[in-house]
Structure 1
């Protein structure tokens, strides 16, 4: 009861109702349980109004139907006299489970805007705080592990608002304590000759079973710019700094998922099965297919669904609540989707714009997709790790843009940059 009153007070004080949020892509979204709302930040296209609303929220009700066909988002003006980041897209973003805070860094910014270093935002106080002055990166993939935000790849460019003339690309993992903004200690990669190509617009998840980060897809730069094949999965052990490739990847359908960038991946509570949705191909055309990747068997499987799927999109956001995966916003070849919010019931694989009883419950069983029980192992992987997920309040964790998860973070890997 007290929690509901607290949520209502914050809702009334900080927000005003709007009946639609314009379609967009490149935003970041997260769920905050203290207010029972999904919060999103930024996205393109940018408004010509320099005072545009940066944060917007969708109220979630546990025992009713959530109407995603006409969702009532609310905007949060923020403190006009306080510090705040610039309007941005394709930034690094995470929310902190059990708190009312989220963190953003980098991204493409609005014209003539200052670059975004690290900022965190508190919903209850409606205040932004700058946590660091790090060089901004755009299109990095990331995963939250306890309070450590691991990021991979990405690029810096004049579009980030940073004072530089050249684009700089990355192909290593680096990290930051997202709560404090402090950079953590890092170690040189142990197998530099096996570092992946410079990569951006990929996706990344963390598996507790394998104690490793798994990186899927994205655009890569070697001799030319290409889109990474779904047989080219990079694995990074944060504990040892070893980079490797997941081996013997195959598909139950006979063909691998099409190469893509700007897609989303999440991992189930067993930490053995990855769910991938959408993304864009080499020519910028978007997809709306759904695939499962079994880490133990290194097998891709297309997942059939019922209901009306979201229109094809990339650079969307995914938020997982209970048994539902919510797909939010996104674009397709320079156009933006009108069905900006759609939910997938991952117990029935049915798409819906009217999910019910959406809030996660501590009593709800976790969702584990079918998989085998024998890890295949890979260089740099600690086999036979703890299979407990440490994921509370929901069935699945992951990131989109993330995503989008908790483990020891005593060492990581230096970024590797080159000027192009």
Structure 2
């Protein structure tokens, strides 16, 4: 049974950021926050969330003197993507209010926390934001986005082979997905599943006639072909700036926004690629409010979802220009034993005196120091210890 098991406040307030799971940590890069200065050029910030201690940490700025030059560190941006390959996080694309969009490939070493710019060749994609990135084997696939130079939506697929650091434009066969930005693309097996995004009714150029497709498009990376796919009811509403992830061979989407409906979402849908069918999922617990532009990462059997933007409470569910940015974090737990995880967290939140009084030992794998309100933690730990059963 799916359950929203943890809700935390006080993280980085970000929208349109990019995040990658590395072991039990989540690395978050850049993003946008209302009220901050994006006119002044500065290096991108990096926040790290520890899913064991449930704490955020901001990495110190990179020193750009000596052999580490300024150009090797990406500037602050939003609408970019980041993927993990081996011990390197590759960050690509995005834009800044001063510099515009970017097509430089940046690499972040997770061991040394140093940036560098790999030497690349081939057909480099044009600068853009709102694209998608996903990984298969040793390659990164870029799809769609809004291209700055052409001033239009894209439906090209570019591939970066990280063994040779060569970019290539894929000559895809079949009927391609429409030009779009702020969609999702998720690898399951050897296929890329594209959902949602913002497109224009009349073609690649933006004419303020936005459409939001709610049909899955599938690209086969083995044949380089777009596949013809059926559509079966029910279908989620079309949307952009949602989150997508795969778990046990199925695709999930959460949240997003549809401007034609002027509506933000906080629904969760599951797509079965074998049956090609959708199912709306209703997790237990209290989940996030309707939002878009959030990030989510899979860590073990848990989804870490954080940030994003929502309508101000007094404005209703839409209202494009009255938004509030979030600094919260939610955990969606797929495990049958999510209560065990909560119990461990609560025990660590207690002082040693309270643990001794209750006869509770510090669970292995979670360091002490996670500060919870003691009466709440004590009551919850006792309740869970008495009701520690597998969820149905």
- TM exceeds 0.5? yes
Structure 1 position 121 matched with structure 2 position 113: no
Structure 1 position 304 matched with structure 2 position 282: yes
Aligned-partner Cα distance in 1 for 2:37–2:292: 21
- Equivalent residue for 2:254, pick from 257, 261, 277: 277
Counterparts in 2 of 1:87 and 1:300: CA distance versus 1, 3 Å: same
- Equivalent residue for 2:81, pick from 87, 92, 95: 92
**Structure 1 position 31, deviation (Å):** 1.9
| Structure ID, larger Rg | 2
Aligned-partner Cα distance in 1 for 2:200–2:100: 28
Structure 1 position 29 matched with structure 2 position 12: no
Structure 1 position 174 matched with structure 2 position 158: yes
Q: Which residue number corresponds to residue 46 of structure 2?
A: 55
Aligned-partner Cα distance in 2 for 1:168–1:327: 30
Aligned residue for 1:199, secondary structure, equals: coil
**Structure 1 position 25, deviation (Å):** 0.6
- Equivalent residue for 2:126, pick from 110, 126, 135: 135
Counterparts in 2 of 1:356 and 1:52: CA distance versus 1, 3 Å: farther
Aligned-partner Cα distance in 1 for 2:306–2:163: 25
Report if the CA contact (8 A) 1:250-1:298 is conserved. Answer: no
- Equivalent residue for 2:29, pick from 31, 37, 41: 41
Relative contact order, CA 8 A, sep 6+: which one is greater?
1
Aligned residue for 1:106, secondary structure, equals: strand
Q: Which residue number corresponds to residue 292 of structure 1?
A: 270
Counterparts in 2 of 1:150 and 1:356: CA distance versus 1, 3 Å: farther
Q: Which residue number corresponds to residue 96 of structure 2?
A: 109
More helix by share: 2
**Structure 1 position 116, deviation (Å):** 4.6
Aligned residue for 2:117, secondary structure, equals: strand
**Structure 1 position 60, deviation (Å):** 3.2
Report if the CA contact (8 A) 1:79-1:126 is conserved. Answer: no
Counterparts in 2 of 1:54 and 1:339: CA distance versus 1, 3 Å: closer
- Equivalent residue for 2:221, pick from 232, 238, 241: 238
State the TM-score, normalized to the length of structure 1: 0.66
Structure 1 position 247 matched with structure 2 position 224: no
Counterparts in 2 of 1:187 and 1:84: CA distance versus 1, 3 Å: closer
Report if the CA contact (8 A) 1:215-1:233 is conserved. Answer: yes
**Structure 1 position 95, deviation (Å):** 1.7
Aligned residue for 2:267, secondary structure, equals: strand
What is the CA deviation profile of residues 5-47 of structure 1, one whole-angstrom value per residue up to 9, with x for unaligned ones?
A: xxxxxxxxxxxxxx944411111111223xx421111101353
**Structure 1 position 221, deviation (Å):** 2.2
Aligned-partner Cα distance in 1 for 2:37–2:163: 29
What is the CA deviation profile of residues 80-139 of structure 1, one whole-angstrom value per residue up to 9, with x for unaligned ones?
A: 32321111111121122x52x211111112424783511101132232111247532211
Counterparts in 2 of 1:53 and 1:149: CA distance versus 1, 3 Å: closer
Any unmatched runs of 5+ in structure 2? 1-8, 311-319, 346-364, 366-392
What is the CA deviation profile of residues 127-173 of structure 1, one whole-angstrom value per residue up to 9, with x for unaligned ones?
A: 2111247532211122111221112111212xxxxxx4x40321132
The total of aligned residue pairs comes to 310
**Structure 1 position 54, deviation (Å):** 1.6
Q: Which residue number corresponds to residue 299 of structure 2?
A: 321
Q: Which residue number corresponds to residue 13 of structure 1?
A: none
Report if the CA contact (8 A) 1:79-1:127 is conserved. Answer: no
Report if the CA contact (8 A) 1:117-1:134 is conserved. Answer: no
